[in-house]
């Protein structure tokens, strides 16, 4: 299944072709104008949606692009099992479980308790249900803001598996030497450039959810590496405030640049983050996000979640509504995550009422 690290690899790009990649997703994903919503909101810059929710494999989403490179590396290492950690309603661990099932590997998913006060629905529906359906072994980590501790717990499980004859592959949560998942969005930068016929003047701003910073940093490095310097990439904060997130994005971008040997193509001023829709923090719903979820659904048929895409869409609407100094659309990068809405059903219904 893995694409060999050659120029002729399916889906390979000029920037990432030397890295092994498992071809798991449906690419390119569509670019769709949101004409009704743009008109209803009276936006100064029309919204265009990059539909990575349509990337295939177990409800799709941005993690498919990321995991193509992790799973390609895992297969190249001869892995028999994959271990990954994330929040209870993590899209990442759900997609990893699907990738492992597709590639015949065992999967251990570790769920961290990041959102306080959630009931049985949150802990059994949505992505959690899919984790079990996909055959993953589900374990729990009691802390929600301890990335190094969560990774260490996975490493301990991997060591035990190694002693039992398995070949484990750990996908870390914390900033690590090789954020291979970012390569999926370096490649995505070249994909959208081709879709726009390499006319960067067609786009003014791209807005994407920014949490681990892997998607945000990969896209930013990819665009700058192909010479798209005039397009702003705005990261909508979904876990940390703007100050903390900007520093993280820059650190990850520097690591990705080193992996690609492309030099420091990202300038400090290129790192733009916006935490207005963050509200009370990760996984919490606020009025700005609820309004974006409602309008996306009722005007464009979009399914957005309270954790990532609801907040990033709210941010995209804000940026699209600002007075433009130059022409071009605002691209909302829809990173998926629709299964999580079922875990937030009671909260969402209350907000919509």
Tens digit of each residue's pLDDT (9 = 90 or more) over 105-129:
999 999 999 998 899 999 999 999 9
189-213 pLDDT, tens digit per residue, is 999 999 999 999 999 999 999 999 9
Instruction: Please tell me the predicted confidence (pLDDT) of residue 174.
Output: 85
pLDDT of the residue at 2: 60
pLDDT of amino acid 323: 82
Burial 49-88 (b: 16+ CB within 10 A, else e): bbbbbbbebbbbbbbbbbbbbbbbbbbbeebbbbbbbbbb
Alpha helices by DSSP H, listed for 42-126, are: 62-76, 91-103, 120-124
Q: Residues of CATH 3.40.50.1100 domain(s) within the chain?
A: 2-61+179-352, 63-171
329 is catalytic: no
**CATH 3.40.50.1100 fits domain 63-171:** yes
User: Catalytic one among 9, 90, 212, 338?
Assistant: 90
Average pLDDT, the chain: 94
Domain 2-61+179-352 has CATH 3.10.20.340: no
* Closest listed residue to residue 187, CA positions, set 94, 70, 65: 65
Q: What is the mean pLDDT of residues 251-264?
A: 97
pLDDT at 10: 40
What does the pLDDT read at residue 177?
74
Distances 259 to 18, 48, 253, 255, 325 between C-alpha atoms, Å: 10, 31, 10, 6, 35
Q: CB-based contacts of 116: which residues, under 8 Å, 6+ apart?
A: none
pLDDT of residue 35 exceeding 60? yes
Res 73: pLDDT: 98
């Amino acid at each position: 299944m893995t694409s060999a690290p050659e120029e002729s690899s399916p889906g390979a790009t000029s920037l990432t072709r030397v890295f092994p990649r498992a071809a798991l997703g449906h690419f390119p994903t569509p670019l769709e104008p949101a004409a009704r919503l743009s008109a209803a909101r009276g936006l100064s810059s029309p919204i265009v949606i990059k539909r990575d929710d349509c990337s295939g494999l177990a409800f799709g989403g941005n993690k498919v692009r990321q995991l193509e490179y992790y799973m390609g590396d895992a297969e190249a290492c001869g892995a028999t099992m994959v271990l990954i950690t994330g929040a209870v309603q993590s899209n990442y661990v759900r997609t990893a479980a699907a990738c492992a099932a597709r590639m015949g590997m065992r999967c251990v998913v570790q769920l961290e308790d990041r959102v306080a006060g959630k009931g049985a629905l949150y802990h059994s529906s949505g992505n959690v249900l899919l984790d079990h359906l996909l055959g993953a072994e589900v374990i729990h980590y009691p802390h929600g803001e301890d990335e190094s501790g969560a990774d260490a717990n996975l490493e301990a499980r991997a060591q035990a598996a190694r002693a039992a004859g398995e070949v484990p592959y750990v996908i870390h949560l914390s900033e690590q030497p090789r954020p291979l998942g970012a390569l999926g969005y370096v490649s995505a930068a070249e994909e959208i450039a081709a879709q726009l016929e390499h006319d960067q003047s067609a786009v003014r701003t791209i807005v994407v959810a920014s949490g681990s910073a892997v998607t945000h940093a990969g896209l930013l490095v990819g665009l700058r590496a192909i010479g798209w310097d005039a397009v702003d990439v705005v990261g909508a904060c979904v876990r940390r405030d703007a100050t903390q997130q900007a520093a993280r994005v820059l650190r990850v971008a520097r690591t990705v640049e080193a992996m690609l040997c492309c030099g420091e193509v990202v300038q400090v001023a290129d790192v733009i983050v916006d935490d207005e829709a963050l509200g009370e923090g990760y996984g919490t719903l606020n009025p700005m996000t609820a309004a974006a979820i409602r309008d996306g659904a009722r005007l464009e048929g979009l399914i957005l979640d309270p954790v990532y895409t609801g907040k990033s869409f709210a941010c995209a609407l804000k940026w699209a509504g600002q007075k433009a100094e130059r022409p071009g659309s605002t691209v909302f990068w829809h990173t998926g995550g629709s299964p999580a809405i079922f875990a937030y059903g009671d909260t969402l219904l209350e907000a919509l009422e």
